[in-house]
Each structure stands twice: as structure tokens, then as C-alpha cells.
Amino acid sequence: MLWSVCLFWSVNYRDIVSKYLLWTLKAITIIWSLLPLQTFAQKEELRWKHFGNLHNGYHRFGAIALSPTQVLVTAGFIQNVSWRGEEGVVSRECEIIDIERCCVFMASSMNVGHAHGALIRTIDSNVIILGGLDTSKKVTSVCELYNRKTGQWEIIGNLVTARWMHSAIMINSEEILIVGGRSGQAVISDAEIFNITTRKSHAIAHFPSPSEITTLFISQIAAPGRILATGGRTGGKDSFRNACLYEYDKAKNQWKRAFQGVIAGNGVRLSDNQFALFSTTWASKPQAPIMLVENSLGFHPIKNLSFESRVIGQMISWGNNIGLIIGGSIQVGREPQQQSEWFDLESGSVVEAPKLLQMRVEMQAIVLEVRNLQGAITKKSVLAIGGENGSNVLHNSIEILETSDKALINIPSSLISRLRLQKKLFSHYVIIALHLLIILLIIGLLYITLKILRIRRKLRVKILDSPNVANLESRQQS
């Protein structure tokens, strides 16, 4: 009888406990699935490496991606220069950086100089450069096209207004919008549209204020499909920064105020089509840099993002709502920095990024992505090209930050991974899930306790009703 009682207890208790543990394991598995597993897999860290050298060091030059493995560099000034003056010699030279073949080679020269012109890549991956300063350091209106197939430059027309330090953007498959800049030393508000097909340019409504270093972009979220432009700056030390974001209505040929309170010097499109604006990239005295990101209601500052103050640095999108701010200086005329910073919108954090090998300001930074047939990124590279060292000495060196590691392509810093995990662990959803899990555990314990009490009660009744117990009681009574 004792053996049968023990067997009864073990079988029933084992079933109850196993069911309880099974449901507990399922709950833990669900919570675990919410956590980014790449956080624990990532081991190596990214580092800047020396890639090679341009044939010349350039100032006020341009760079643009030709393909996932090539970058076209268009010359500016090629001699030592001062930060605020246009000293030196303007060159027509061009070079191509090829990261697949690990080399830098000369390309065909432009027909005229285009120092501080505007570079645009067309939908067929050709390149157009508009305006700038020519080899005599005079403002030019010439527009040229670089044909990737022939490798040659061709003059395709002229701007209505010769200008430099202007901004340009493709607004459709054949038209380029050009805004502001300088004509000589005066900052202008003139705007125009250049048509690639007709090779003609026509003036449009003036920008609301004289402006240089205006950021132009086509909104995807705040004002889908509409052409937006930051107010820019009027030029000169500590010059006025327009705190408005304007929209250009092509049908009505007019500019109108779209959003207020947006002071920005640089911008970048993030992986989810959000456009992020950085407030002090071109300010003479940067204070409290702010990151503004568009949403359906407009542009809002991202709180708790603490950036290093810097000017004339570069900002690029890494992907997965992560960006990289590279180099620059803490103030115009001061020593450039090697520091770089990752900013992550998902975790709302700014963390230290790999330091450049050399101090750089007014450089060019280009992101290259190699994809497989399924469209997945298999290799990502960032090039830091040329720039100045702050002592009027031009760099001709090129640095590269590259990886083929899937975890690093997704999240380039282990610290960002930890911060994302930390935010997930302390998010409202996870806290609610943990509370529910605790409640389930308590309910489970109560359920097991009740089951045990019921089993004990059944056993007591069964034992009391057994013949042995009845005989024992009759003997005791006799």
C-alpha cells in the first residue's frame, strides 16, 4: 500500500510541475525573442584604416559615388589655403577611388574648374557638376556631365546665374533645382531649374532670403513628395541663420514657409526614409548641437542626444537608424578633430566612434554599399577623403572604415547594441510582459498548491476508507 501511495503522489506531482515549468519556459522564450541576439554575437570593432592617396590634396572639392565600389573626386584648390580665403590654384583634375581594386587613378579632366560647385548624380548614374570657381578663380555658370561609359566630361549648358557655394538637388528624372550660393562674394537668393534633356536653365522665384549652404531634400514623411529647403546662412562670421524650413511649389512657382524653428547646416536621409538635420555643422560658433528628425507632424528635436560641438564636419547614414558624424572642428579657425560619433535614434544615444587616423576638416565622406542579388548588403564602406589639417596643409590621404560582418553592418558598435538592449529591457512593453509573467508565476504557484492540497485530501480519504485502517480501528476499540 505504501508503494502505491508514493507512486500516486509522484505521478500527479510530476505532471503538475512539468506543465508549470513548460508554460514558464514558453513565457521566457517569448520575452527572449524580443531581445536583439546580435548584441551577444558581436565581437570585433570597426577601425579607420589608411586606404591610399590622391595625386593631389584638394580644398573646396567634390566627391560622389559612381558605383558601389567607385568614387569620383572633382578637384577644387590644390595649394595650401586659408580657411576663410580662396587662396591657391583651382584645378580641373579628377580622380577615381576604386575600393574593389584597391587603387586611385586619374580620370579625364573637367573642361573648366568647378571649385565649390554642386555635384549631382543622375538616375542613370552619370554625374553633373554645376557652377563653382574656374581656374582663374572667377565664378562660372558652366554645367558639365561626366559620362560613366565614355569616362569623359562634356559641357551641357550654363546656369542663368553664375554661382558657387550653392545647393542643388534632382527634383525629377530630368530637372535640377539650384538655390542660393554666392555670386562673387555676395550671398544671393537667386534660384533656377536646369533641365538635363533640353540643356537649358530658367530662373524661378527667388529663395525667401539670401542663403548659402542650404540643405535641399525631398520629404518622405513630414511632407511626402514635397521639395524642402533649410534657410541656410547669409554668409560671413557669425552670420544670420534662418530658422525656417521652406517648401518650393513648382506648379505655382513660389516658396512658402513649411516649418518654423529649424536651424540646420547639414542633413542626411536615414534608413527608414526619415530625414535628419544637424543644427551646427556650418555654424561659426557651434553651441548645443541639436538633431532634428522628421515625423508626420514636422521636425522634432531628439532629446538626450549629446553631441560634441563641431563645424564643417561630415554626417553620413550608416543604416538601421544609425548615423556617423566625422571630423570637423570645435570652432572655425581652430584645430580640426579626429573624433567621430555614432548617433542612434532607436536608443536615443550618441557614442564614441572610431577616431580618424588624421585630423580633418572640410573633407568629403562617402558611403559605399555592395549588395547581393537578393538586395542584402554584404559589404559597407565609408571613405574619409582629403580635407585640411588646420594649419593650411591639405591632406591627399584617404581613410576607410569597412566591414563585411553582418552584425557590424546592422549595428556598427557594441555599445549601441547594449544601449538598445537596455532600452528594450526597460521599455513599457517588456515591463508589462514581466509583470504579466510574475502574475502568471504566482497563479501557477497557487494552482500547484491547490492541486497538492486536493491530492493530500484524496489520499487521506482513501487511506481512511481502506480495510487495514478499519481493522486497526476495530482492534483499538476492542
Distance CA 123, CA 119 (A): 13
Q: How is 115-143 classified by DSSP, letter by letter?
A: BT-EEEE-TTS-EEEEEEE-TTS-EEEEE
Distance CA 253, CA 251 (A): 6
Q: How far, in whole angstroms, is CA 277 from its chain's centroid?
A: 11
Which residues make Cβ contacts (< 8 Å) with residue 395, sequence separation at least 6?
57, 358, 360, 363, 386, 387, 388, 389
Q: Is the pLDDT of residue 1 over 80?
A: no
Residue positions counted in the chain:
478
**Residue 441 or 456, more confident:** 441
**How sure is the predictor about 38, in pLDDT bands with cuts at 50, 70 and 90?**
very low
Q: Is the pLDDT of residue 234 over 60?
A: yes
**Residue 130 or 458, more confident:** 130
**For 265-291, how does the pLDDT look when each residue is reduced to its tens digit (9 = 90+)?**
678 888 777 888 876 544 445 455 677
The continuous run of DSSP H or E covering 438 comes out as helix 428-464
Q: Is the pLDDT of residue 101 over 80?
A: yes
User: What pLDDT is stored for residue 2 in this prediction?
Assistant: 39
- Of 31-40, 264-273, 302-311, 371-380, the poorest mean pLDDT is in 31-40
**For 127-142, how does the pLDDT look when each residue is reduced to its tens digit (9 = 90+)?**
999 999 999 999 999 9
**How sure is the predictor about 452, in pLDDT bands with cuts at 50, 70 and 90?**
confident
Sheet holding 62-67, edge to edge: 62-67, 70-74, 94-98, 103-107
Identify the residue whose cell numbers are 509573467: 437
Over pLDDT 70: what percentage of the chain?
76
The continuous run of DSSP H or E covering 19 comes out as helix 2-33
**For 167-220, how does the pLDDT look when each residue is reduced to its tens digit (9 = 90+)?**
999 999 999 999 999 998 889 999 999 999 999 999 999 999 898 878 899 988
- Of 143-152, 246-255, 305-314, 467-476, the poorest mean pLDDT is in 467-476
Q: Is the pLDDT of residue 79 over 80?
A: no
User: What pLDDT is stored for residue 440 in this prediction?
Assistant: 79
Instruction: Report the sign of the C-alpha dihedral through residues 424, 290, 390, 323, in that order.
Output: positive
Distance CA 318, CA 343 (A): 10
Identify the residue whose cell numbers are 547646416: 265
User: What pLDDT is stored for residue 33 in this prediction?
Assistant: 56
**How sure is the predictor about 110, in pLDDT bands with cuts at 50, 70 and 90?**
very high
Please list the alpha-helical segments (H only) found in 215-342.
none
Q: Is the pLDDT of residue 27 over 80?
A: no
Q: Is the pLDDT of residue 4 over 50?
A: no
Strand 118-121 and strand 103-107: the pairing is unpaired
**For 322-354, how does the pLDDT look when each residue is reduced to its tens digit (9 = 90+)?**
999 898 876 655 677 888 999 898 888 889 999
User: What pLDDT is stored for residue 34 in this prediction?
Assistant: 53
- What are 300's three cell numbers? 522634432
User: What pLDDT is stored for residue 91 in this prediction?
Assistant: 93
Residue 350's identity, in one-letter code, is: V
- What are 90's three cell numbers? 583651382
Residues 74/94, Cβ–Cβ less than 8 Å: yes
